Structure 1
């Protein structure tokens, strides 16, 4: 019989292998156990029991958006690594404030807007209206701030009291809309850009062919921006009980007013009645305790708004409900992630709501400056078919519903806009860059043959021929006629009447109402009430947001992304993923337009670069 005993060398190697294998399994199991503990801690974190006279702390951190721009899984991972994109959903803020107004345990709201980084005029207006509803319930709102910029002050003006830090200030500058213009740079690079547009005021593509804004664009911008500013001044002056003319004069003479106060921004704000008192954070906490908010340690009895929101009851299945679909961002072809509007993906959401027997009415919440015209038409058709199926459709315009954003809105039964909504911009353009001179600068030349005059004519390495330019002009001209024709049909007007208020002209919600482009002024709540009434639904009907279906992992990630425990894990472990440096907003917009035109021979855009800064 052969000796089956292993030699010492083989036994040593096997022993080392078994040791390594054991260590590997031990490490993996420990990692798995740690993750499991973290997940369970996040899910079953202790929720504070609310007591009477608790203050709801509304510390708004980041940008207020209609819909998160990243998926739930990505948000959870970003929060764990400390690199989350700071975004707050408007619907979450509104639901929190309205629930707190009905909650007997909540005595007041303490608004802290210091870290609010971005929100459009209409978004701010919706939050302000929610704060007004809270105050109408007999509960005060107090703002505590280190500094107040223009948007932050608009929210603070909806408070009963504004407390400003002694080193802070209130700076109101007015609205601005500036673009970078690239013509000289493109000329130096040898890039020839052909712009074909319909609409005297359609200025979205001007940066590629001019070095400055056209006079028509400036004239139109003064009109709608002036109306927005008047709306802003009137509202904050009314809320603060000061004369609008005096407020305008104080802004115009800000340098003189500040010099008279020896550069003390806080003292100037107090003198101008923009704030009610000057107080450090410690003094503000003491003042709140004096106002009846019970003390807790060296602070006051409070609950963070996100913790409070996490305790609100979830939606339960209902036999009848009203669906809300969010269309936010640039309109692009195909399926797009959150933060953009996909011609296919958004159309699919609308189709799903139409085919859902429990959905009795639809509200389309639009906040978009427009984009691809074909994708816009795909969405518009779904709205039209939903109405034909007997389900009412009401559009609620947010900050923007311009150009393609108006295109997808026009066939609703009813259109609501805020006075500060930016809409209109009914027009179309096509942008066709050519780079033969660019290539020649580095010694590259293009040559060859085609079997017809059109063969290869759309190649960007070739100059744009007069024949192709004529074809493109015909296509874009027809696109504009279709646009105003469909608006005319939807709004019960003639194409000539619509053309008179179209031509790419941007309007505010106030101006759009005067010109028959929208039906009523109001926010999301008013649109939901109107849709419910059209469908014969009760005022308290369940409202359900229709979004991309979540997987089991997505639902887990969603619960983690709003978890305070997960944030604690990130801070305790020191994990951090440095944020990427992003180019300016206007550069991203320009890149989006150019990227969307890639590979499209007859690319037409219904887009408006009308964001405010």
Structure 2
């Protein structure tokens, strides 16, 4: 009986083993055939690309239809971005530099006769980046080529670009909605009180309001005063620029915006007709009307599914030369996003990783000048200081450093900028906010609501002082405030030394107060108004590189697989496959985003107070 049971057991194991082997072979074969199929599709794409239209044809229209967020640097992971493209979906981010490069290249490209801009799917986070793109459109028009805008509808950010066109057309069912700027925030004090969470805020600066939502149930008068001043400056400039471009009196444009609810009644709810009546657009046209207009104006017929001959941004950029990146010239390091400690992925600022990029640029013999492109509301003070030190070391090495401020370079964003040889900002950049704060949470009240107590002993008065289950000792609060006070003095003192001004003069315009680029120029916090193009030219002049320097971006290298996927996504074969409707399933592109909560854990810190130079100062 025992022998029969033993034989039965071994027979079961043999069957089980054969089953595992079959499953293994099925999986291996499945993977093999998936890759084989993808390889065959890729070869089909190369064949389609070689037998179809190659390159950009003469008399083509460059169609710019940016989708998603306008950024200085991709923050979507490279693999995720590649998978999105391969699945037939455009990545929901577009880089400023890509738009500007394409427009500038097209201005001298005889094959491109005009630009068609369709901005309705662009989400702009700030006006400074829009101004960079708008300046490129102006240069394109100055080359004698028209810019045409057609949109289904436009908000005020999208319309800012549209105003720089020769002709603005709107779908008859669409509208242009300009509302003004606002900065409303949620306040959590009442909620935290109900939960029994104690928030201990330590700050310096009368206007340093970033952490107010945790200790107040409304915005402070100082916060409202400062916000009204810098947002008023941004909005005044918007009105003046758009009115000038559209040949409207600024007062009339402002009145039209403020009187929208009453004016819409006059057109019986027709926003498109109202936009035409108020000279915000030049005509109402459907997509078919647009295509017929292009054909009547001499643009040849396009390929399958295209009403006129055209080339999109991705395909056009694939044929634009990357420039003389191997020659000595200007290195550009992008610092975009919140400043946090450690190493962070591309599209965000890590104290160690961004400092490493600046150090790598400095140690590269090709780098004769450095431009730091800053688009950041700040973050952790120590991380910002690590980056600032690398800027200072780069200057000490005899390499000129120029800062170009984007949409926002405030608080910690200004901290990493202050030691540059020259600081450029757009008139509508948000900057300043020179001030710091610290926050610490304790939860004894929360535990008490749950019927939980904490007790024990320590070897000294500071032992266990940062245990969040215990109330904060007032003496420890005094210690933290002293550290915050020193941090503020270091910040103001560093700016005063860098700007060549007395401490008191900087302290007066610091206090955490936010300024526009124009207001900051008036107060000596920046040196010149201008964008990245002007900053690069200034850096090249300081390094005596001439008027047409080599420019390269210094970025963290991609892994082998990531680089392959990105290159594949941008290849002509993949573009051809997409044109034939062949692409990866859409769900594949979503794989990297299925566990977003993991991203929240990367920078989480608890059990100690953190010191921040941060500004929540981006209007919506």
Q: Report the TM-score, using the length of structure 1 for normalisation.
A: 0.92
In the alignment of these two chains, the number of paired residues is 596
Structure 1 residues 98 and 198: CA distance shift in structure 2, 3 A: same
How far apart, in 1, do the equivalents of 2:423 and 2:413 lie?
Answer: 12
Q: Is the 8 A contact 1:83 1:576 kept in 2?
A: no
- Other structure's SS at 1:114 match: coil
Match of 2:32 in 1: 29
Structure 1 residues 228 and 580: CA distance shift in structure 2, 3 A: farther
Question: Within 5 Å, which residues of 2 pair with 1:451-466?
Answer: 451-466=459-474
Is the aligned partner of 1:494 residue 2:497?
A: no
Match of 1:231 among 215, 219, 237: 237
Q: Is the 8 A contact 2:79 2:565 kept in 1?
A: yes
- Displacement of 1:451 in angstroms is 1.1
Match of 2:397 among 389, 393, 407: 389
- Other structure's SS at 1:109 match: strand
Match of 1:429 in 2: 437
- Displacement of 1:85 in angstroms is 4.6
Structure 1 residues 531 and 45: CA distance shift in structure 2, 3 A: farther
Match of 2:174 in 1: 168
- Displacement of 1:219 in angstroms is 0.1
Q: Is the 8 A contact 2:67 2:90 kept in 1?
A: no
Match of 1:120 in 2: 126
How far apart, in 1, do the equivalents of 2:19 and 2:507 lie?
Answer: 82
- Displacement of 1:595 in angstroms is 8.4
- Displacement of 1:596 in angstroms is 5.2
- Displacement of 1:573 in angstroms is 5.2
How far apart, in 1, do the equivalents of 2:149 and 2:453 lie?
Answer: 64
Q: Is the 8 A contact 1:82 1:576 kept in 2?
A: no
Is the aligned partner of 1:516 residue 2:524?
A: yes
How far apart, in 2, do the equivalents of 1:50 and 1:460 lie?
Answer: 63
- Other structure's SS at 1:433 match: strand
- Other structure's SS at 1:386 match: helix
Match of 1:250 among 244, 253, 256: 256
The Cα offsets for residues 74-125 of structure 1, whole Å up to 9 and x where unpaired, read as 2223334567750111111110000000101100000011111233110111
Match of 1:601 in 2: 608
Match of 2:363 in 1: 355
Is the aligned partner of 1:274 residue 2:280?
A: yes
Structure 1 residues 612 and 44: CA distance shift in structure 2, 3 A: farther
How far apart, in 1, do the equivalents of 2:260 and 2:283 lie?
Answer: 20
- Displacement of 1:581 in angstroms is 14
Q: Is the 8 A contact 2:83 2:589 kept in 1?
A: no
- Displacement of 1:608 in angstroms is 0.1
Match of 1:441 in 2: 449
Tell which deviates more after alignment, 522-531 or 543-552.
Answer: 543-552
The Cα offsets for residues 137-156 of structure 1, whole Å up to 9 and x where unpaired, read as 00000001110111111111
- Other structure's SS at 2:403 match: strand
- Displacement of 1:24 in angstroms is 5.8
How far apart, in 1, do the equivalents of 2:238 and 2:535 lie?
Answer: 22
- Displacement of 1:560 in angstroms is 2.7
Is the aligned partner of 1:263 residue 2:266?
A: no
How far apart, in 2, do the equivalents of 1:19 and 1:602 lie?
Answer: 56
- Displacement of 1:339 in angstroms is 2.6
- Other structure's SS at 1:367 match: strand
- Displacement of 1:574 in angstroms is 4.1
Q: Is the 8 A contact 2:467 2:607 kept in 1?
A: no
How far apart, in 1, do the equivalents of 2:82 and 2:394 lie?
Answer: 35
- Where do 5+ consecutive residues of structure 2 fail to align? 1-10
Match of 1:564 in 2: 575
Structure 1 residues 190 and 83: CA distance shift in structure 2, 3 A: farther
Match of 2:550 in 1: 542
Tell which deviates more after alignment, 67-76 or 81-90.
Answer: 81-90
The Cα offsets for residues 256-292 of structure 1, whole Å up to 9 and x where unpaired, read as 2111111111111001000001111101111122222
Structure 1 residues 539 and 15: CA distance shift in structure 2, 3 A: same
The Cα offsets for residues 237-261 of structure 1, whole Å up to 9 and x where unpaired, read as 1110111100000111111211111
- Other structure's SS at 2:314 match: helix
- Displacement of 1:132 in angstroms is 0.3
- Displacement of 1:71 in angstroms is 2.9
Match of 2:94 among 85, 88, 98: 88
- Other structure's SS at 1:239 match: helix
Is the aligned partner of 1:367 residue 2:370?
A: no
How far apart, in 1, do the equivalents of 2:161 and 2:299 lie?
Answer: 22
- Displacement of 1:468 in angstroms is 0.2
- Displacement of 1:564 in angstroms is 2.8
Q: Is the 8 A contact 2:301 2:307 kept in 1?
A: yes
Structure 1 residues 84 and 260: CA distance shift in structure 2, 3 A: closer
Structure 1 residues 294 and 432: CA distance shift in structure 2, 3 A: same
Question: Within 5 Å, which residues of 2 pair with 1:93-172?
Answer: 93-172=99-178
How far apart, in 2, do the equivalents of 1:555 and 1:595 lie?
Answer: 24
Is the aligned partner of 1:532 residue 2:543?
A: no
Match of 1:585 in 2: none
How far apart, in 1, do the equivalents of 2:184 and 2:522 lie?
Answer: 27
Structure 1 residues 554 and 22: CA distance shift in structure 2, 3 A: closer
How far apart, in 2, do the equivalents of 1:448 and 1:544 lie?
Answer: 59
- Displacement of 1:44 in angstroms is 7.7
Give the aligned CA root-mean-square deviation in angstroms.
Answer: 2.6
Match of 1:3 in 2: none
- Other structure's SS at 2:587 match: coil
Structure 1 residues 196 and 91: CA distance shift in structure 2, 3 A: same
How far apart, in 1, do the equivalents of 2:219 and 2:23 lie?
Answer: 69
Is the aligned partner of 1:309 residue 2:317?
A: yes
Q: Is the 8 A contact 2:205 2:512 kept in 1?
A: yes
Structure 1 residues 607 and 390: CA distance shift in structure 2, 3 A: same
The Cα offsets for residues 143-193 of structure 1, whole Å up to 9 and x where unpaired, read as 011101111111110100011111011110001111100000000000010
Match of 1:289 in 2: 295
Q: Report the TM-score, using the length of structure 2 for normalisation.
A: 0.91
Q: Is the 8 A contact 2:61 2:311 kept in 1?
A: yes
Structure 1 residues 104 and 471: CA distance shift in structure 2, 3 A: same
Match of 1:77 among 77, 80, 83: 83
- Displacement of 1:542 in angstroms is 1.1
Structure 1 residues 215 and 596: CA distance shift in structure 2, 3 A: farther
